[in-house]
Chains A and B, each alone.
Chain A
Amino acid sequence: MSKTRLIAVFGVLIGVALFAAMALFGINNDPSKLPSALKGKLFPEFSAPTVHDAEKIITRDDMIGRPALVNVWATWCVECKIEHPVFNELARQGVVIHGINYKDDNAEAQRWLEDFLNPYQLNISDPKGRLGFDLGVYGAPETFFIDKHGYIVHRHTGVIDERMWQEKFAAMYQELLDE
């Protein structure tokens, strides 16, 4: 085989291999789940009232100090209802979870937290989705993992179920605790 032909065959093989790698990546990659642009960055600054008390203002500083999950939820979000018992159980086990009530009505949110229990330590009210926008939220539920310094380590879009927690997120949270 001539040298040129060898190079040509090699080139084609590299092309095919690249294509296969991309296709494999594509199959395993759900394009509706975007990586967060805020990964590795500090949680955005905010100042918002709580769901229960419009007078009480929460800021980012209230979150800093220990690792936590920050869950973006709403009463209009069907999937949030599926996720809620999982968070209740995690909260019972001592996992720190904060809630951002996203584009929602405070009265309805309060009723939800009474009916389905409240797993959240901080209940941030974000009726206009301002904080959500700064977080790059494009739907609910979304869950952010923050470390004790307030940096965003991971963002998950969609429901977190028990299996996901055991397979992936429990270890992630433990790592943040061990830091």
Chain B
Amino acid sequence: MKRLVYVLGLLLACLGTAQASIDTYEFSTQAERERYRTLVEELRCPKCQNQNIADSDAPIAMDMRDEIYSKLEAGQSDEEIIGFLVERYGDFVRYKPPVNSKTVILWYGPAAFLAFGLLMVVIILMRRRRSVVAKQDQSLSSDEQARLSDILKQYK
């Protein structure tokens, strides 16, 4: 029982830390606020991986949010801000990696495999159908038909 209480206590403690961080930035326009939200949700924290920088409490995520905020206020475009971060932290910080020679297999690999699989299925099905049709085409000639009816007659 005591152990159960400990475990529950630990779980409760975890709940507290799992909350998204709330910043107190003042934005001059609503549009800017939305751009900020999109950016912090699309950028990935390099420290606590698999969290975006909006959700992360790591100091580096805080620095990145500060940086994004001040650059937004300075009038920089989303591309400029993302570029600034990628220059320092690499493509890793983007949840939407760019299409380039390194990532092309990630972007199009699955689709290519699916297309290959579908193509194979179609080819196999078409072949199978062709052979079935070919078998059906083997209808009897009139001689054969006559022989067949003779044979059938014998067994009547």
Say whether B90 contacts A36, CB under 8 Å.
yes
Known: A11-B120, A31-B49, A139-B60. A37 touches B86 (CB 8 A): yes
Say whether A4 contacts B123, CB under 8 Å.
yes
A35 cross-chain contacts in B, Cβ below 8 A: 90
Say whether A138 contacts B113, CB under 8 Å.
no
A15 cross-chain contacts in B, Cβ below 8 A: 113
Say whether A4 contacts B124, CB under 8 Å.
yes
Say whether B88 contacts A4, CB under 8 Å.
no
Check if B16 is an interface residue, CB within 8 A of chain A: no
Main secondary structure of the interface of B (DSSP, over half): helix
Instruction: Flag A129-154 by CB within 8 Å of B: 1 or 0 each.
Output: 10001111111000000000000000
Say whether A37 contacts B89, CB under 8 Å.
yes
Say whether B60 contacts A135, CB under 8 Å.
no
Measured CB to CB, the closest approach of chain B to A130, in angstroms, equals 9
Say whether B88 contacts A133, CB under 8 Å.
yes
Q: Which of B63, B90, B92, B127 contacts A4 (CB 8 A)?
A: B127
Check if B107 is an interface residue, CB within 8 A of chain A: no
Check if A20 is an interface residue, CB within 8 A of chain B: no
Check if B47 is an interface residue, CB within 8 A of chain A: yes
Check if A103 is an interface residue, CB within 8 A of chain B: yes
B123 cross-chain contacts in A, Cβ below 8 A: 4
Closest to A2 in B: B127
Known: A32-B49, A103-B59, A138-B47. A8 touches B120 (CB 8 A): yes
Say whether A134 contacts B88, CB under 8 Å.
yes
Q: List 17 A-B contacts (CB under 8 A).
A: A2-B127, A4-B123, A4-B127, A7-B120, A11-B120, A32-B49, A34-B46, A34-B90, A35-B90, A37-B87, A38-B88, A129-B59, A129-B63, A134-B88, A136-B88, A136-B89, A138-B58
Chain A residues within CB distance 8 Å of chain B? 2, 4, 7-8, 11, 15, 31-32, 34-38, 103, 129, 133-139
- 9 shortest interchain CB distances as A-B pairs: A37-B90, A138-B46, A136-B88, A138-B60, A138-B47, A8-B120, A136-B89, A4-B123, A34-B92
